[in-house]
Every structure is written in C-alpha cells, then in structure tokens.
C-alpha cells in the first residue's frame, strides 16, 4: 500500500472532522441533497467527458496505482539485470529459464531472450506494452482531474440551488435552515472532494507515471543489453545513468572492480 496517499487522506479528513466536533455537531454537516449534487453531478460530468467503455477501467487503474506502491528500486533492478547477464554469459540464453525474476516486465523480457526472439521484436513488444500501460495511467489521471474540476463547480451549483430555495420561501422561516444547509454544504463537499482527494491523486499519478516510465525503460534497455550479449560490468555501467548522482557511488565502484 502507498501509505503516503492513505495517511494524507485520513489525516485531512481527521482534521476537518475534529474541527467540526470542536465547534458543533457532525450531524449538522451531513446533507443527502448536497451529497447527491456534488458527487452525483461530478460523476455525471466526468462521464460526459470520456468514452463510457474506458471510464471504469481507467478509474480503477488510476485508483490502484494511487493507493498501492510498486516496489521497483532502480539500484536493485540494475543488480538483478547484471546477475541475469552473468547467467546468460556463462550458461547461454536457455540458462535464464531457471532463474527466478522479481519483476513481471523483466521476467517477460528474459523469457523473450530464452525463447530466442529477435532484438527488434523484443524491443518493440516491450516498448508497446510500456506505452499502453502509461496511456491507461494517463487516462486514469485525466479522470481524477476532471472529477476534481467538476466537484467545486457542482458545489457552487448546489449553493445556487439552496439560495433559490431559500429566497423563494422567505415567508416560511422553517425552510430557511435546510435551504442554507444545501447552499453551504455543497460548497464544502465540493472543496473537500477536489482538494483532499481528486487533485492530490491526479498529481500523484503524474509523478508515478514519470517514475514508471523511467523504471520500465531501464528494464527494456537492460533486457536488450543481455540479448546483445554485453558483459555484466558494461551493462551495469550503462544502466547507472538511470540513477541520481548521489546513488551511483557503490555501483560505480562495483563496475570499476
């Protein structure tokens, strides 16, 4: 699980709920009509923006990536690729079939090498799979962005609805309270949904997409170097470029050894 996402949402919610408890009763901040306007209207507007067939899968993909953490450490991946290159050099491509690989993408590339596929086929297949995954992730990112844009707008729409209802029934004081609740709570719900959930997840998906792009490209380059029978030391030295400067020291020493 990606604890940063979960902790952030839980902490933000806890702060708001605590402030509500300190100042009054939480039941005052629950209104079904306001929830329907903000959540229902926001989802409806989001559905209008995207093809229906891809909305559910893109939303699920985006949520899954936002709330989970794919444990790919570039340093560890470079060492694993180097070890695979050493196996391929000593035992040949078929020797890779008996090696356990930690990452699914790397495992697929290793299997391609063991099966004897041509380099062009391996690169094209792996790059296509990477690009399609990033496209799905970008679609999920756009859906959260659209929902984050729509929620405050429908909060304002709910505010206008509440004000119209209040002004239309000013002669009946008993209706002023419920109408004002809709007017104010829809704005609150829209702001919370956008700024506590949708926009942060949109930003996180963008950051994770960049990391995933670099990691997948690292794996593809490593697989291609193994396929071309490059030495493990040379492969390590070439892949070090994917690491930040401060994390290169140990691997540079290993490559020089």
Q: Which residues of the chain have pLDDT under 70?
A: 70-71, 246-257
Please list the alpha-helical segments (H only) found in the chain.
3-23, 32-35, 41-49, 52-67, 74-91, 104-114, 119-168, 176-192, 199-227, 232-239, 249-256
pLDDT at res. 149:
92
- Looking up tokens 């790397």 gives 106
pLDDT at res. 150:
93
Determine the Cα–Cα distance for residues 3 and 69; give it in Å rounded to an integer: 8
Determine the Cα–Cα distance for residues 31 and 58; give it in Å rounded to an integer: 30
pLDDT at res. 148:
92
pLDDT at res. 249:
62
pLDDT at res. 223:
94
pLDDT at res. 25:
78
Predicted TM-score of the model (pTM): 0.80
Q: What are phi and psi of 158, to 5 degrees?
A: -60, -35
């Amino acid at each position: 699980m990606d604890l940063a996402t979960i902790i952030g949402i839980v902490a933000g919610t806890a702060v708001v709920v605590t402030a509500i408890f300190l100042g009054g009763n939480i039941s005052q901040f629950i209104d079904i009509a306001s929830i329907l306007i903000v959540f229902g209207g926001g989802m409806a507007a989001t559905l209008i923006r995207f093809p229906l067939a891809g909305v559910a899968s893109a939303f699920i993909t985006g949520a899954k990536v936002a709330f989970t953490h794919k444990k790919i450490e570039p340093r560890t991946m470079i060492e694993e690729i180097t070890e695979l290159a050493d196996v391929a050099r000593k035992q040949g491509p078929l020797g890779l079939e008996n090696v356990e690989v930690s990452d699914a993408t790397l495992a697929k590339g290793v299997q391609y090498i063991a099966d004897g596929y041509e380099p062009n086929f391996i690169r094209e297949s792996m790059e296509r799979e990477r690009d399609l995954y990033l496209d799905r992730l970008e679609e999920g990112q756009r859906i959260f962005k659209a929902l984050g844009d729509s929620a405050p707008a429908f909060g304002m729409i709910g505010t206008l609805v509440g004000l119209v209802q209040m002004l239309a029934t000013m002669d009946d004081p008993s209706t002023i309270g419920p109408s004002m609740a809709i007017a104010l709570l829809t704005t609150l719900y829209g702001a919370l949904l956008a700024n506590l959930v949708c926009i942060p997840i949109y930003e996180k998906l963008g950051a994770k997409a960049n990391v995933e792009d670099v990691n997948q490209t690292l794996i593809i380059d490593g697989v291609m170097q193994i396929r071309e029978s490059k030495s493990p030391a040379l492969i390590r030295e070439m892949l070090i470029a994917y690491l930040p400067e401060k994390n290169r020291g140990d691997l540079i020493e290993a490559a020089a050894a």
